[in-house]
Chains A and B, each alone.
Chain A
Amino acid sequence: MQILDSSFAALADPTRRAILARLAMGEATVLELARPFQMTQPAISRHLKVLETAGLIEQRVDGTRRPRRLAKSALEGIDAYLDMLRRAFDTNYHRLDQLLAEMNPKNGDPK
């Protein structure tokens, strides 16, 4: 649950979503990730830390390089997908509850 909550927060930020989209195309170093965003390396590193804590990305050790890549378990698992659906539907169905209450106070609304 901790992991799911932190992944939710991690994905709420547009820069972090763009980083994930970039990593979906293949692994990249911090420097490579920082370039298109015109952000400092420490700023990108902070975003990466959040994504790592959420279990969405991981580091690979390659000599002195530490390329980041998507965490397989987080993005390919059915559980992550189902959790996304669950959140999406739950939010929408709560809104639908309210709409139905407005549509149909008591006596039904046949047309």
Chain B
Amino acid sequence: MSKMNLKTEGDRFVVVTRRFAASPEAVYRAHSEPELLKKWMLGPPGWTMPVCIADPRPGGKIRMEWSDGNGHGFYLTGENLEMEPYKRLVHVERMHLPDPTPDNHVETLFEADGDGTLMIMRMTLPNAEVRKSMLATGMETGMEASYNNLDSMLG
């Protein structure tokens, strides 16, 4: 049984809740420190994150680049907005597919839950058009790729 719950909230948000068997501090750090992020926020097997920049302060830049090792990949940029250590993170991000998707505003809460942590993440629900392009570019298999070389494939 999955420990994760993912549902819409109204027509504007997606809320993800997930329990982790670690302290709020550890889960918070894994969500905010580049060296930790690049170990797990990866997508399908074989994908890596060769670039992970996440300046841990309000206004700090975020940039993550994913690669499948065969010349395909995509990237995300964003900014940290609010950081309350071990409790709450607020950031904004956009995917470049390669055109940027509308800003996704993400608030992540870390609450002590017994000997673990309950993470609650509220993010923006993209509109139908953006959902369609994200699906059509093959993101189904994880945080997967758009084809930057699609033009040449279709050429």
- Which residues in A have some Cβ–Cβ distance to B below 8 Å? 7-8, 11-12, 14, 17-18, 20-24, 36-37, 70, 74-76, 78, 80-82, 84-93, 95-101, 103-104, 108-110
Contact = CB atoms under 8 A, between A and B. Distances in A.
Interface of B: 2-4, 6-8, 14, 16, 18, 20-23, 25-27, 29-30, 36, 39-44, 125-126, 128, 131-144, 147, 150, 153-155
A84 B140 contact: yes
A2 B144 CA distance: 22
Contact of B150 (A18, A98, A99): A18
A7 to B, nearest CB: 7
B131 A95 contact: no
Contacts of A76: 128, 131-132
Given A12-B141, A36-B153, A95-B42, 15 more contacts: A11-B141, A17-B137, A18-B147, A21-B136, A81-B135, A82-B6, A86-B4, A87-B141, A87-B142, A92-B41, A92-B43, A95-B39, A95-B40, A100-B20, A100-B27
What is the interface of chain A mostly: helix, strand, loop, or mixed? helix
Contacts, number: 128
Contacts of B134: 81, 84
B57 to A, nearest CB: 18
A98 B41 CA distance: 12
A18 B154 contact: yes
Contacts of B39: 95, 99
9 contacts: A21-B147, A75-B131, A76-B128, A76-B132, A91-B44, A96-B30, A103-B22, A104-B22, A108-B25
A38 B67 CA distance: 26
A84 B40 contact: no
A99 B40 contact: yes
Contacts of A99: 30, 36, 39-40
